[in-house]
Structure 1
Amino acid sequence: MPTTVPPDIQQVCTRFVTTALSMDTTTDRGPADARTRAARAYGVPELAARLQGHGQDPEWSLLVAHHARVQVSTQPVGDDPPPTRDDAAAAGVHAIRVAVGAGTWRQQLSDTVAYCSLRRGPEGWKITDLSFSDSPSTTGAGR
């Protein structure tokens, strides 16, 4: 039987991923701004410093051209995460992204799956690391 992620851990990962992928070209200088915002809000202090140079997104120029922001909806990933220990946990989130721009412009962006590593500290669960993977649904199956 697959293990389930405790709700508080899943919630931190979901909030982090939603914030990290919610870019807004009218206020952000690049995709790294959203990831840094997420790290500051939901991550350990060193994560924000590590993510400042990251955030390449091949769709950024398209988003800028349309003065777009990215809306993110999520669902938990249930693919057998490692068991939660006293101070370490993991969770995954499938993120569906839609760019919404000036006028009526909308563009479905590729889905992604994000895996969060978390550590419990005095302030609760914080993200220590993350990785992104292509979502199987972006291959056209089930879409």
Structure 2
Amino acid sequence: MALGSVALVSGCGASSPSAPDHSLSVTSGPDTPRSTSTNSLVNASPQDVCSDLGIASVAGDTSVDYGPADARRRAAQQYGTPALQQQWAGSGQDQQWDALKAAHARINATATPVGDDLPPAQNGQASAAATITPTATLPNGQHQPMTTFVIYCGLQQVNGAWRVTTVNLA
């Protein structure tokens, strides 16, 4: 079953307060694709936090999520500042969501750091970028690639942890 591509765009969507947390702990090197997001921000680098936000922004289970906005909301709550949480509240539409939901797909993603010449972290501010490659997995185990995108993050250190303040998607 071909599901087509998925795009992240601003819009309204319902949210599910009881949706599951899709984050898991992982270890990876600087050039190793990350496949799930970490639970702790305390020791995470700006790159890790940006990558994890990108992964979490698309990770979901269509059997419990009302729509792609649920993943965006969870991602912003876990990795973003209050301003990003407010900006992303209810945002995220996907023309393919109905097909994904009908197929009972789970959406996972990997993140690979982008090698752009980003400025170094200083004065509690940092930038990071990652290529996010989402994949829908059907109950029969079939994997359907989805649209890859690049996430550019502006980050700020808050209480000793990096938090995402701004996001641009390309």
TM-score class, shorter: 0.7 to 0.9
Question: Deviation at 1:26?
Answer: 1.1
The reply to whether residue 112 of structure 1 matches residue 149 of structure 2 is: yes
* Aligned: 1:91 with 2:128: yes
Q: Which SS does the other structure have where 2:121 is aligned? A: coil
Cα distance between partner residues in 2 of 1:125 and 1:71 = 23
Cα distance, 1:14 vs structure 2: 1.2
Task: Return 5+ residue gaps in structure 1 as ranges.
Answer: 134-143
The CA distance in 2 between the partners of 1:104 and 1:89, in whole Å, is 39
* Counterpart for residue 61 of structure 1: 98
Match of 2:5 in 1: none
Query: How many residue pairs get matched?
Result: 128
Equivalence for 2:108: 71
What is the aligned partner in structure 2 of residue 40 from structure 1?
77
TM-score normalised by L of structure 1: 0.82
Residue 50 of structure 1 pairs with residue 48 of structure 2: no
Residue 12 of structure 1 deviates from its aligned partner by 0.9
CA contact (8 A) 2:68 2:94 kept: yes
Partner secondary structure for residue 71 of structure 1: strand
Aligned equivalents of 1:101, 1:123: Cα separation in 2: 39
Partner of 2:68: 31
CA shift for structure 1 position 51: 0.5
| Offset of residue 85 of structure 1 | 1.9
Structure 2 residue matching 1:17: 3-state secondary structure: helix
Find runs of 4+ consecutive structure 1 residues off by over 4 angstroms.
none
Q: Alignment partner of 2:64: what SS?
A: coil
Q: Is the 8 A contact 2:111 2:131 kept in 1?
A: yes
- Superposed CA offset, 1:38-74 (max 9, x none): 1111111222221113111222122112011111011
Aligned: 1:11 with 2:37: no
Contact 1:66 1:105 in 2 (8 A): no
* CA–CA separation in structure 2 for the residues paired with 1:124 and 1:74: 20
**CA distance in 2: counterparts of 1:33 and 1:75, whole angstroms:** 23
Paired amino acid for 1:91: A
Change (3 A) 1:117 1:86: same
In structure 2, stretches of 5+ residues that fail to align are 1-29, 31-43
Work out the CA distance in 2 between the residues paired with 1:21 and 1:101.
16
Name the structure where helix makes up a greater proportion of residues. 1
Q: How far apart are 1:19 and its partner, in Å?
A: 0.9
Query: Equivalent pairs: percent with the same residue?
Result: 36
